[in-house]
Amino acid sequence: MSEIRPSPAIIVQEDVALSECVRQMREKNVGSVLVVKKEVSGASADSLIGIFTERDFIQKVSLMPGKDWQHRTIASVMTLEPISINLAQLDEAAAIMIRYGIRHLPVVIELPENPSALVGVVSMRDLFQHYYELSLDFPLGPSTVAATEEARVSQVGLLTQDEKTRALLVAGLNGLSGSMLVRMSYEEVLTEAGLNPTLKSLQVFVVDLDFLGSAKWSLLLRYLNSDPDSPPAVLVFNPMLCTPQEVTILQKLEASRKFSIFKKPLNPLELFAQLQAILAR
């Protein structure tokens, strides 16, 4: 599968030191930082007031005398009112970049509690990588691209009764034609004979532990861990609904390549970054 996938974003408040932002960009090897209003709760397009990119550093910061720039805040050099794009519009990213002469687009999704949640950044580098992979995978032309893409859909399984969790996954996969969400029940996943064989067709399995109870989820996780053909599992849970011992058990699972652990309330940036990494394996 080859899809345009936004990269995780560095999000900072407007009063953060410019030197700190440059340090984070260097350490994480990214070309931009998103800037939000001070003291906001939850990053959204409404709170996004600026973006700082490598181009800003070259055109503004590099021209400052001496080390004067190290004492400035990010708000003093950022580009104001950046253009953003919805996750469902990623196919239009290249056209938008060309039209406005930009190289980075903040990406948002619609969630029930946050209609414009920031989930990442799509950059020109992301687009180069996407189209380069397409050229390798589909050298025979557009008709081959369409046929092969249809045959290579990535299935993301979901076991939950929480509408917020479901809405988050739906919103996140909405713009990716190569990904499909498959809702499942506990009875469908774990039968008397063990794991349902259809589970092995999934590329990743998202399990919400909150409504299962520890007896059910511990049995399910044992089966998933013991079966080498089962998909990687992303486990989400509310630590307030678990005992300290259960939280410790779940945190220990993070040492395994099979499991990824996320506590509620879920961070869309971190969750989608992990899902993207798993789907890219």
CATH number at residue 190: 3.40.50.2300
Q: Are residues 67 and 179 in the same domain?
A: no
Would you say the pTM of this structure is higher than 0.85?
no
Q: Are residues 181 and 108 in the same domain?
A: no
Per-residue confidence (pLDDT) for residue 210, from 0 to 100: 93
Q: How far apart (Å, rounded) are the C-alpha atoms in residues 4 and 23?
A: 27
Q: Are residues 158 and 86 in the same domain?
A: no
Whole domain around residue 103: which residue ranges?
11-132
Contact between residue 259 and residue 107 where contact means Cβ atoms under 8 Å apart = no
Q: Which residue has the tokens 């004979």?
A: 193
Which candidate, 278, 279, 18, 269, places its Cα nearest to that of 121? Answer: 269
Q: Are residues 195 and 243 in the same domain?
A: yes
% pLDDT > 90, the chain: 34
Number of domains in the chain: 2
DSSP string, the chain: -----PBPPPEEETTSBHHHHHHHHHHHT-SEEEEE-TT-SS-BTTTEEEEEEHHHHHHTGGGSSTTGGGGSBGGGTSEES---EEGGGGGGHHHHHHHHT-SEEEEEEEETTEEEEEEEEEEHHHHHHHHHHHHHH-TT-HHHHHHHHHHTPEEEEEE---HHHHHHHHHHHTT-TTEEEEE--HHHHEETTEE-GGGGG-SEEEEE-TTT-HHHHHHHHHHHHH-TTSPPEEEEE-GGGS-HHHHHHHHHGGGSTTEEEEESSP-HHHHHHHHHHHHT-
Q: Which residue has the tokens 């400052």?
A: 64
Domain annotation covers residue 168: yes
Quick one: pLDDT band at residue 137, thresholds 50, 70, 90? low
Per-residue confidence (pLDDT) for residue 136, from 0 to 100: 65
Q: Are residues 123 and 219 in the same domain?
A: no
Q: What is the tens place of the pLDDT at every residue in 166-208?
A: 888 877 776 555 678 889 999 989 887 788 888 888 999 999 9
CATH number at residue 82: 3.10.580.10
Domain annotation covers residue 139: no
Domain annotation covers residue 145: no
> Which tokens belong to 135?
């050229």
Strands 104-111 and 114-123: antiparallel
Domain annotation covers residue 148: no
Quick one: pLDDT band at residue 116, thresholds 50, 70, 90? confident
